[in-house]
Structure 1
Amino acid sequence: MKKQTQMYYGADYNPEQWSKEVILEDMVLMKEAGVNYVSINIFGWVSIQPNETTFDFDFLDWLIDLLYKNDIMIDLANGTASPPAWLVHKYPDMMPMTVHGNRLVHGSRQHYCPTSDVYRQYAAALSSEVAKRYHDHPGIVMWHINNEYTCHIHECYCDRCRSRFQQWLKEKYQTIATLNSAWSTTFWSQSYGDWHEIYLPEEMPTFKNPAQQLDYARFISAMNLEIYQIEKAAIAAYSKEIPFMTNLMGLHKYVDGFKWATEMDVVSWNSYPNPFNEMPYPQFLANDLTRSLKKKPFLIMEQAPSAVNWRAVNGAKKAGQMRLWSYEAIAHGSDGIMFFQWRQSKGGAEKFHSAVVPHGEPKESRVFKESCQFGNELKKLQAVVGTTFIADAAIVFDWENWWALELDAKPRKLKYIHQLSRLYEALSGLNLTVDFVHPDEDISGYSFVIAPNLYSASSSFGKKIEEYVTRGGIFLTNFFSGIVNEHDQVYLGGYPGLFKDVLGLTVEEFYPLKDSMHGQISFDGQTFTTHLWEEVIHLDHATALAHFNNDHLPGVPAITSNQYGDGYAYYIGTELAPADLAIVLTKIIQDNDLHKATEEFIEGTTPVSVTCRKGKDYSLLFLLNHTDSTHQIVLKKKGYSILDETNVTELEVDAKNVQIIKFSHTSDHK
């Protein structure tokens, strides 16, 4: 298997839009920018298969050879992301259908039904032809399969999808009686006598069956994964040494990243933080989540050099912002930074999306100059490639819980990513680094595990948490967690059923708040404002750390601690602002003497973001200053500044700037 040996830097390249003269100019500009890696052929289907019986690889042959001669590595896509017009014209029923029964038409992208046999057949055939021709080309270092699965089509309600859904359910449940039990169909007389009676969760008079909706979400993710597997298998028939991947989208709801990651050699995602957000925590969180899918380095396969084209107001990245946010990804495990796209399009829907090479003269462009400076700087970071990110704690993340939590008919609407982002912001402010873990993963190696708003989880996960805490682990969860099983059925005996014993409490009743409503709690001599949610908590064995101060919940416990075996389980029964949540987390950390990996390297605390990656015989300390002030850092031992190329024992990190310090496990600091 080909292995990465240097930081990847480059862009999504679409040379089919340009003349050969422009492409030759691009080779010069790419060298100037430090580009060593490009993605090609992502939307190349019609260019290499202009009709059903013709494959024309002349241009792609020329391009791949040209890139290789210019020392630019190639992430080669199979070109299946946008089916050509001739295919849609011949097979119009391969197109997806909306919930209202409207068949989509050609003219955009990703226009295919996820169960279409026609699309699967032609995508596999194209993949085979591409792999047969290029599998042994020395310039190819990665297979890029399709593009952003479910970005635009995350549901389809055609008859074929209904039939395939019925088949998928039969394979999952085996008997109709088992399905009826899992779906609680005795409610509202929904029971089924045969698989063919089951519809997709389309238009209905009122609330839909939540278990049916959950299985439909699982089904859509699974059907798209089948497409990926089909395309991958077609390529793998010819290619054995080149790694496989597709570009995920971080906090994208419709693809279960943990399941998909097992099919990839490398994981990547497309990162598009909003420049108007001073600290885009959801995107920062997504870096950690993407890395966590395989617990290995990942790639940023797309990001904008400046503005995008698809927001209502497309803000431009300020000077230095692209560099700082790119280093944020590297500090959290990325081994490559790519842009969409290399050269700004002349026409089409994305012509105003920024690119490394703008519509104007590149030598006069701030964006191009910054891209060149950053790209050449990355050449110093060879020591980063392949290193392991060191996490202090684990956050339990589950796409299926996300789907379940945001279905309707709840005490109030809750947004999973909103809750996670507030927690992540609080942890980031404390420089407590995290891995994300799936409920099925081993958590024994983490001293601190947090399960935020884990509304839906299996009974086996509940037992895992009990064993973890019994053996000395520290566990934290919050409101509306441990409520239902994987079929959206409530754990009886009192909330939060799954975690009731380990938390040592019972929640009698939920008190959801309107957006305009706020309450108060008292914690450790301080008063915090509550948001969204409160509840009536009764202590069984737990101790109250905070109480509600409200007229309707006077003196009711709000935050609790419970010793369970050798460990402790904590519960927060409301939503707190990130700054207040950080105070609660600080107490948990201090009371349990939890340590951070970075404490080995720096003295005291700092508002500068600090993370650590480790190689075979060295450690790398990343210092990212997102503040507007310069901050002094005192090191506990001598290190080597990779960017400044000097030995240091203390240093200043300027506002909006970065330092990377290498600590050798030998006497040689370089």
Structure 2
Amino acid sequence: MYYGGDYNPEQWPEPVWDDDVRLMRAAGVNLVSLGVFAWARIQRAEGEFDFGWLDRVMDKLHAGGIGVNLATATASPPPWASRAYPEILPKDASGATYWPGSRQAYAPTSPVYRRLAAELVTAIAERYASHPAVVMWHVNNEYGCHLHADYSDNAAVAFRAWLRGRYDGIEALNEAWGTTFWSQRYGDFEEIVPPRLAPYSLNPSGLLDFKRFTSDALLDLYRMEKSIIRAAGGVQPVTTNFLGAFEPIDYRSWAPDLDLIADDSYPDPADAESFRAAAFDRDLMRSLKPGVPWVLMEQAPDAVNWRTSNAPKAPGQMAALSVQAVARGADGVMFFQWRQSRSGSEKFHSAMVPHAGTGTRTWKEIVELGRDLASFPRMSADVEAPVALVYDWQNRWAVENSDHPVRFDHLEVVRQWHAAAHRRHVGVDVRHPGDDLSGYAVVIAPQLYLLTDASAANLAAYVAGGGTLLMSAFSDVVDEHDMFPLGGFTTRLADTLGLRVTDFGALPVDGTHDATTVTVSLEGTSLKGRLFAEELDVTDATVLGRFGDGRLRGRPALTSRVSGAGTAYYLATVPDEEGMGALVARILAGAGVRPVVDGLPEHVEAVVRDGHLFLVNHSEEPFTPPSSLGRPIEAGSEAGDVIGAYGWRVFGRAAP
């Protein structure tokens, strides 16, 4: 189990380094991410490299038994680079330049930036590929985090090249984008520019392709650096750190190029329910490379510095979120950062070694967590998950384009469906609609607005093969170009669902998405719907629930249809939290899916990884686990007993 954090020795005088190694050993640290933002320290000017200090740090860490996740340092070019080559700087949609003085001030498609980055990575990889301390490579850092997209001339040139590779000629692009609308037809690829500032709405198909291009352009940078590491003889795993369900980058398309998934996580300690969104992100990361353990690369030991109000973590909260990641497939728990910075934008960001020293609660919890992680048995990444929740980045991009019946946060809705299963202690994988879904008892596919023919066929085959599918409003609407298929709505899944949508029935919304709701009545109970109240033409399905009020009073709202050996459900609205819970409970029970452990309160997670039961309490309230679990085991027991079949232990904020 990896344990450690980002280490920035360049921020400290050299006498501190020996103390760092001593404290790392005391805390059980066995891996640090090194050199993430060290470009200016490694290369003071073009062609001038200084590795002496890094050699000494690497050797000290290795002598102390601490491995290195060595960064390529390309995330933040030094000031000399943009002074010599201002063309590397990115621009926003209005044409304004992003200047140096922060981080990520580079255009990903700039040939000069790529050359400078390649020279840096080559020098680092050739020097350290065989160093015994290096156990992993950390390419760049949080791609796209602060610069979601670049609209510079560099981007324009690269976007046109990307489009030429995607479309067989300009007429094919015109057809896919529907450019006859508003006289947008292109006569040549050279006429195309990124979706810069414009008088009114931009072409939605062009916007979607620019999102795809931006994700691919960053991936190409990653691939360039990885290939340099391999060419220099580096055989260690290569990765970069993701950001959960980060909107600008399609991590699913990146996953095959990462030897292991790494993720950063910063849920708000002041939000008592933030652990649920964190659970979704953890399940998403595990699902990107099924069967391969991943690493929680960054989290905060205590408070962060970048919210309006930065609440500290409560006692035990750091351990709870850390073990949550392990339960959901992580083989590493790391932090930003090791020693708290004295200056700079993140000097108020907490660290494993706080300014206040080793007498603090933070340090004591860091040491205790290190002991706990060291006691865990070796486990596969297999997590018991009978349910799949469908999430597709490209669908999200299309859903959140403007000019739709109603605007809403697609990720928020997806996470609410996940939370409905999470509250019921049921394991969930997060999958793409084109993935193999045959092993899941239930598949939940919310707002699958953009649906390819192949994914539609895959969902239909899943149901025909015996699966239970739940779809909700605003699904099966457009193809991969954000264009309506001929024949109206719900064209690909009409036979599986036994219905067609004829009107989306958008409901007025405010900032909470629930200004107007409708009531869906079903078999003695009811649920509140929001965002949509779709009008359905039910052709071959059983009506399970009807709208109880509003303009569609008495019309079908919830249907089911047996298709082959399985059942497909369709809900013509988006339920509120209570309604989601009731409907998910009903669907799970009908499919024979039971909780991991019965009788647990909602604030306690129960997860089974490789046959080991994890119980994580995210509340300050202690709870008494069911007697069916038997007696608890004591903290510090032999490794095989800590979380295994012979016992259990509660981690988190209020263990019994």
* TM-score in same-fold range (> 0.5): yes
Moved more, 364-373 or 86-95: 364-373
Q: What is the CA distance between 1:320 and its match in structure 2?
A: 0.8
1:664 aligned partner: none
CA distance in structure 2 between the partners assigned to 1:470 and 1:638 by the alignment: 44
1:291 match: 286
Q: State the shift of 1:241 in Å.
A: 2.2
Is 1:235 matched up with 2:235? Answer: no
Once the two structures are TM-superposed, the CA of residue 652 in structure 1 deviates from its matched residue by: 8.0
Cα 1:649–1:148 shift into 2, 3 Å: closer
CA contact (8 A) 1:132 1:238 kept: yes
The superposition leaves residues 379-421 of structure 1 with CA deviations (integer Å, 9 ceiling, x where unpaired) of 101323x442221111222111111110000001021111111
Out of 237, 246, 257, the residue aligned to residue 251 of structure 2 is: 257
Measured after TM superposition, the shift of residue 605 of structure 1 is 6.1
**Residue in 1 that maps onto 2:605:** 609
In structure 2, the residue matched to 1:623 is 615
Equivalent residues of 1:11, 1:39 under 8 A apart: yes
- SS of 1:389's equivalent? coil
Task: Give the distance between the partners of 1:603 and 1:638, measured in 2 at CA.
Answer: 16
Q: Counterparts in 2 of 1:630-645, with a 5 A limit?
A: 630-635=623-628, 644-645=637-638
| Residue in structure 2 matched with residue 663 of structure 1 by the alignment | none
Which consecutive segments of 4 or more residues in structure 1 shift more than 3 A?
602-608, 634-659
Question: Contact 2:266–2:299 at 8 Å: present in 1 too?
Answer: yes
**Alignment check: 8 A CA contact 1:639 1:649 kept:** no
Measure the CA separation in 2 of the matches of 1:530 and 1:247. Answer: 37
Structure 2: gaps (5+ residues)? 510-514
Q: 2:438: which partner in 1? A: 444
Contact kept in structure 1, 2:414 and 2:446, CA below 8 Å: yes
Matched with 2:506 is 512
Q: Which residue type is aligned with residue 141 of structure 1? A: V
The counterpart of 1:406, out of the listed 400, 416, 420, is: 400
- What whole-Å deviation, never above 9, does each CA across 1:512-549 have from its counterpart, x for those lacking one? 22232122121231222222221112321111222111
What are the equivalent positions in structure 2 for 1:96-245 lying under 5 Å apart? 96-245=90-239
TM-score, reference length from structure 2: 0.94
CA distance in 2 between partners of 1:575 and 1:147 (Å): 36
1:18 aligns with 2:15: no
CA distance in 2, matches of 1:536, 1:34: 59
Does residue 553 (structure 1) correspond to residue 552 (structure 2)? The answer is yes
What is the Cα deviation at residue 29 of structure 1? 1.4
Give the structure 2 partner of residue 370 of structure 1.
Answer: 365
- What is the rounded CA distance, in whole Å, between the counterparts of 1:427 and 1:121 in structure 2? 48
Any conservation in 1 of the 2:615–2:649 contact (CA below 8 Å)? no
Deviates more, 1:507-516 or 1:62-71: 507-516
Aligned residues: 643
* 1:636, distance to aligned residue in structure 2 (A): 6.8
Distance in 2, Cα, partners of 1:240 & 1:55 = 20
Pick closer, same or farther for the CA change 1:603–1:109 going to 2, 3 Å.
closer
Letter of the structure 2 residue corresponding to residue 19 of structure 1: P
Q: Partners in 2 of 1:626 and 1:63 — Cα distance?
A: 38
Return the offset for 1:643.
5.2
Q: CA deviation at 1:48?
A: 1.1
Per the alignment, do residues 357 and 240 of structure 1 end up closer, same or farther by CA in structure 2, a change over 3 Å counting? closer
Question: CA 1:370–1:642 in 2, change beyond 3 Å: closer, same or farther?
Answer: closer
Q: How does 1:394-543 map to 2 (within 5 A)?
A: 394-515=388-509, 516-543=515-542
Alignment partner of 2:249: what SS?
A: coil
Please report how far the alpha carbon of residue 164 of structure 1 lies from its aligned counterpart in structure 2 after TM superposition: 1.5
Q: Do the aligned partners of 1:624 and 1:657 also contact (CA within 8 Å) in 2?
A: no
CA contact (8 A) 2:315 2:653 kept: no
- The answer to whether the 8 A contact 2:613-2:648 is kept is no
Is residue 307–residue 314 contact of structure 1 (8 Å, CA) maintained in 2? Answer: yes
Contact preservation (8 Å) 2:330, 2:381? no
* Aligned pair partner of 2:375 in 362, 380, 385: 380
Is residue 2:653 matched to residue 1:656? yes
Tell me by how many angstroms 1:46 deviates: 1.3
| CA positional deviation for 1:642 | 7.2
Distance (Å, rounded) in 2 between the aligned partners of 1:219 and 1:658 = 48
Distance 2:25 2:647 in 1: 35
C-alpha distance in 2 between matches for 1:655 and 1:439: 34
**Structure 1's 651 and 333: CA in aligned 2 closer, same or farther, altered over 3 A?**
closer
Deviations 1:258-281 (A, max 9, x none): 111111101111100001111212
Q: Deviations over 1:109-140 (max 9, x none)?
A: 11100110111111111111111111111111
SS at match of 1:579: helix
Which residue type is aligned with residue 508 of structure 1?
Answer: T
Question: How many Å apart are 1:573 and its aligned residue?
Answer: 1.4
SS of residue in 2 equivalent to 1:329: helix
Which letter maps to 2:607? T
SS at match of 2:378: helix
- Stretches of structure 1 that go unaligned for 5 or more consecutive residues are 1-6, 660-670
Distance (whole Å) between structure 2 residues aligned to residue 639 and residue 630 of structure 1: 13
The 2-side partners of 1:143 and 1:551 are apart by: 57
Indicate how the Cα distance of structure 1 residues 641 and 568 shifts in structure 2: closer, same or farther if over 3 A, else same.
farther
SS in 1 for 2:625: strand
Alpha-carbon distance, 1:55 to partner: 1.0
Alignment partners' CA distance in 2, 1:649 and 1:463: 44
The reply on whether 1:303 has 2:299 as its aligned counterpart is yes
Measured in 1, the distance between the counterparts of 2:47 and 2:622 equals: 63
> Is the Cα contact below 8 Å between 1:485 and 1:491 reproduced in 2?
yes
> Is 2:348 the partner of 1:352?
yes
CA–CA distance in structure 2, aligned partners of residues 553 and 454 of structure 1: 23
Q: Which residue of 1 aligns with 2:512?
A: none
What is the letter of the counterpart of residue 288 of structure 2? Answer: L
C-alpha distance after superposition, 1:150-171 (max 9, x if no partner) = 0111212222211211111111
**Range 263-272 or range 190-199, more displaced:** 190-199
Indicate the larger mover: 446-455 or 411-420. 446-455
Q: Distance in 1 between matches of 2:457 and 2:211?
A: 26
SS at match of 1:76: strand
Q: CA deviation at 1:455?
A: 0.7
- 1:544 counterpart residue number: 543
2:331 alignment partner, one of 330, 335, 344: 335
Displacement of 1:30 after TM fit? 1.2
Q: Choose the corresponding residue for 2:315, options 316, 319, 329.
A: 319
Cα distance, 1:38–1:125 mapped onto 2, change above 3 Å: same
Match of 1:668 in 2: none
CA RMSD of aligned residues (A): 2.0
CA deviations 1:325-353 (Å, max 9, x no partner) are: 11111111111111111111111010001
Match in the other structure for 1:67: 61
Q: Which whole-Å CA distance do the structure 2 matches of 1:99 and 1:603 have between them?
A: 52
User: 8 Å contact 1:75–1:141 — kept in the other structure?
Assistant: yes
Aligned to 2:70: 76
TM-score relative to the length of structure 1: 0.92
Answer whether contact 1:261 1:267 (CA < 8 A) is retained: yes
Query: Does the Cα contact within 8 Å between 1:287 and 1:332 map onto a contact in 2?
Result: yes
Report the identity percentage.
Answer: 39
Is the CA contact (8 Å cut-off) linking 1:13 and 1:341 kept in structure 2?
A: yes
Secondary structure at the residue paired with 1:610? strand
Structure 1 residues 496 and 72: alpha-carbon distance in aligned structure 2, compared to 1, 3 A threshold: same
